[in-house]
Structure 1
Amino acid sequence: MGMANKRKTIEESAGPGRSLIRPQTLADIERREPDSKEIWYGHSILTSTLFPPTQPSTDTDFVSKTNGTLEYVLEAGIDPEERKRKFPYGKYPRLIMAWIAKQIRTAGKMKTEYVDPQTRTITIPSIWQMCNELGLQRGGKTADKIQEQLRLLLSSHITIRKTTGFSGGKMHDMISLPIVEAVRFKESDTNAAFSGSAFVLTKEVYERLARESAPFDTRASSLLLSGRSVLPYDTYVWLTGSMRNLRHDLPVTWDWLYERFGDSISSKQNFRAKFRKALAKVRDVYPSVHVSVDEKGVTLHPSPTAIAARHLIDGEYVDAAVAQDVPEAVDPASNPTSNQYDSPSENGGK
């Protein structure tokens, strides 16, 4: 498919007024590397698949995702405005969490307008400013939706579970992981764009976003989120994070993929078709990714990450050759609850 046809296909699927984060073209992605403002950070659980694509039914107690030996469980909090339990869902929690990860990685150890690393405080001066940072329209229904999803996100609760089998039984380990320790909302009665918030992230969430998130190109995510489905975006974030540590071919079954990405898709057969389409869109914006598909599932082949030539160390981008001499900041073996980003060798996809 030619470049013009690729752009036309994506524009038609997006529909008028539905693109996010400043519309960018495939030609621009191919022509140049992203600048620092266009590099955000994604975690395939905390910034994407943990959040359902649509609002679950009212009788849903929780949603969960498995990552290796760990299970992430999301429970809806009580919306302080509506006084009802509602899940954060769709594209906006994904964008908000990726933006938070970006600000944490950019800040490093230095206090910025948005992040105080000493206290793990994130400040959003106004929804207007947040929409501007996300590249969204700065008012009306968009501001209302961002404000609502931010409330739902910060009210929700995560539990990380690990089950270990042994002769004659099993052992369950659980970590309670609220997203925030404290939060203050400032809401305007006349214009949601003037509302804002400040919140203290829990240590676990802050450190996971700082340590385990992988860089991605927001020009790509803008195209992948321009349609109704979040599946292309979730697939993109998963693949670029998985390729970071992949050293050998790795088969991943359709069952594993359906469990991870198949929320709200009625059947595995339907999911396979949708996943193939999502993967095709990912290849348009991430042409260096090498993934093969067959009847058993997909096979990941070692590939560059979406942002292959840059590494972030204490808030600074350096060449890959320099970064190779820097030791790992955290040894996962020193903490049994710690988990690397989403290494396919650990994801149980075989």
Structure 2
Amino acid sequence: MRSNIDAGPATIGNPIDSAPRLGSACQKGNRDAQFTSEALALEAESAKNAGAMGFMARVLVQTTLPHSIQNGPRYTRRNGTLTVSITDLSGAGLPYGSYPRLLLIWLTTEACRTKNRQLELGPSLSSFMAELGLMSTGGRWGTIPRLKDQMARLFSAAISATSTSGESTALHHHSGKNLLVADDFDLWWSPHSPDQTTLWRSTVTLSEALFQQVIDRPVPVDLRAVKLLKKSPMALDLYAWSTYRVSYLRRSTLIPWESMMLSLGTGYPETAQGKADFKRKFVQALRKVSTVYPALRASPNERGLLLQPSTTHIPRQSRFDKGGFSCRD
């Protein structure tokens, strides 16, 4: 895996997406044991030394993409005074699930590595999917059509981030920024021959506004942890959010379930059943995140998530600023 900021293109993990689904309790136990074993192995070598440094844009760590398919052209989440809306500009639909999250981590990491808005996605579809940790499989439910669909959704989306403060005072401040994900993209892959190389390179050019957001104090993550969590959008969100949140946490803080649901509870209805489902899924995701990130001191209770001062998953350096890492150096 080579995704150090000074190394080659970002690679999120080994291609394991086509592994057969195993149903028995024994097989599930084996998978859980393997997950734990691989998670513990992360502690033996730092992400930097392993060439596994990745990055996430802060604006999409504080509030997140949908977990599941959404109706309508717009999706909005809130985190404190920050409101993030994602709008479908092309009719392709809103991005959702793990794939656009893996794409965004790859894009941010590559932008930090190359310090360039135009990013090459590889000579073939299968090679790029390998960098995302995905096997290339066809068919209706294969990884190829799912990735193509999510790329079309993500690259045709716009992000609006607004912040409001001072609502209870005489001086009210409202600010915001509108970001296109991509100015343009050219994809020349053959879905029927994913290993085939082409004469033209597939590229995506990040918008200038998003590029500046990406390289301005992105949140560092361990791509080995991303690989282990990649099948769960909730776990991916919680992992990035928690290492960012503790980067500026100074005392124990109880975050109510209602607040957690506003920022990470994508797609859950505002009903008693919806809240119960969110809490159950959140606790499951927290177990996984705590396994790959054992320094995280977070525990759920009846009222919410008790978050205590913890070390960030990627150790702080002098260039860190509230969880960010300077990609301008």
Calculate the TM-score normalised by the size of structure 1: 0.71
1:306 is displaced (CA, Å) by 1.1
User: For residues 44 and 255 of structure 1, do their structure 2 counterparts lie closer, same or farther at Cα, with a shift above 3 Å needed?
Assistant: farther
Partner residue, 1:251: 254
Candidates 259, 262, 266, aligned match of 2:265: 262
Task: Indicate yes or no: 2:65 matched with 1:77.
Answer: no
Query: Bigger CA drift: 267-276 or 252-261?
Result: 267-276
1:96 equivalent among 86, 90, 103: 103
Task: Give the letter for the 2:41 counterpart.
Answer: D
Aligned mate of 2:183, from 163, 181, 191: 181
Task: Report the residue type matching 1:106 in the other structure.
Answer: R
Taking the aligned partners of 1:216 and 1:189, their CA distance within structure 2 comes to 30
* Alpha-carbon shift at residue 231 of structure 1 (Å): 1.1
Partner residue in 2 for 1:159: 160
Q: Deviations over 1:285-331 (max 9, x none)?
A: 111111133222112211111122xxxxxxxxxxx5xx43x596xxx
Hey, what does 1:41 align to over in structure 2? 55
Closer/same/farther in 2, CA of residues 278 and 189 from structure 1, 3 Å limit: closer
Contact 2:162 2:174 in 1 (8 A): yes
- C-alpha distance in 1 between matches for 2:78 and 2:45: 36
Which residue identity lines up with residue 74 of structure 1 in the other structure? Answer: I
Counterpart residue type for residue 96 of structure 1: L
* 1:2-49 Cα deviation digits (max 9, x unpaired): xxx9x95472699xxxx9xxx972342243333443221124642695
The answer (yes or no) to whether the contact 2:59–2:161 under 8 Å persists in 1 is: no
Pick aligned residue for 2:65 from 35, 47, 51? 51
Q: Is the 8 A contact 2:58 2:217 kept in 1?
A: no
Shift of 1:203: 2.1
Q: CA deviation at 1:282?
A: 1.1
Deviation at 1:252, TM superposition (A): 1.3
Secondary structure of 2:288's aligned partner: helix
The 3 A distance-change label for structure 1 pair 162 and 30 is: closer
Q: Which residue of 2 aligns with 1:134?
A: 132
Question: Which residue does 2:288 correspond to in 1?
Answer: 281
**Could you say if the C-alpha distance between residues 161 and 45 of structure 1 is closer, same or farther in structure 2, counting changes exceeding 3 Å?**
closer
Give, as a single letter, the amino acid of the residue that structure 1 aligns with 2:77: K
What SS class does the counterpart of residue 215 from structure 1 fall into? strand
Q: Quote the sequence identity (%).
A: 24
Report what 2:121 is aligned to: 124
Match of 2:218 among 210, 213, 223: 213
The question of whether the paired residues in 1 share the 8 Å contact of 2:125 and 2:194 is answered with yes
Equivalent position SS for 2:111: helix
- 1:183 aligned partner, one-letter code: F
- Structure 2 residue identity aligned to 1:222: K
Matched position secondary structure for 2:202? strand
The separation in 2 between residues aligned to 1:151 and 1:304, in whole angstroms, is: 37
Q: Determine helix, strand or coil for the equivalent of 1:33.
A: coil
User: Is the aligned partner of 1:201 residue 2:206?
Assistant: yes
**Counterpart secondary structure, 1:159:** strand
CA contact (8 A) 1:290 1:303 kept: yes
Question: Compared with structure 1, are the counterparts of its residues 327 and 301 closer, same or farther at alpha carbon in structure 2 (3 Å cutoff)?
Answer: closer
Contact 1:44 1:234 in 2 (8 A): no
Task: State the alpha-carbon separation in 2 of the partners of residues 37 and 235 from structure 1.
Answer: 23
* Structure 2: segments with no counterpart, 5+ residues: 1-24, 325-329
Report deviation, 1:167.
6.4
Give the match's secondary structure for 1:177.
strand
In structure 2, the partner of 1:149 is 150
Partner of 2:245: 242
The whole-number CA distance in structure 1 between the counterparts of 2:144 and 2:191 is: 13
1:170 shift after superposition:
6.1
Structure 1 residues 279 and 121: CA distance shift in structure 2, 3 A: same
CA distance, structure 2, for counterparts of residue 238 and residue 175 of structure 1: 21
Alpha-carbon RMSD: 3.3
Structure 1 unpaired stretches of 5+: 79-83, 109-116, 309-319, 329-339, 343-350
Secondary structure, counterpart of 1:150 in structure 2: helix
CA distance in 2, matches of 1:230, 1:10: 22
Render the CA deviation track for 1:240-264: whole Å, top value 9, x for unaligned: 1112222222221111101111123
**1:11-22 counterparts in 2 under 5 A?**
11=31
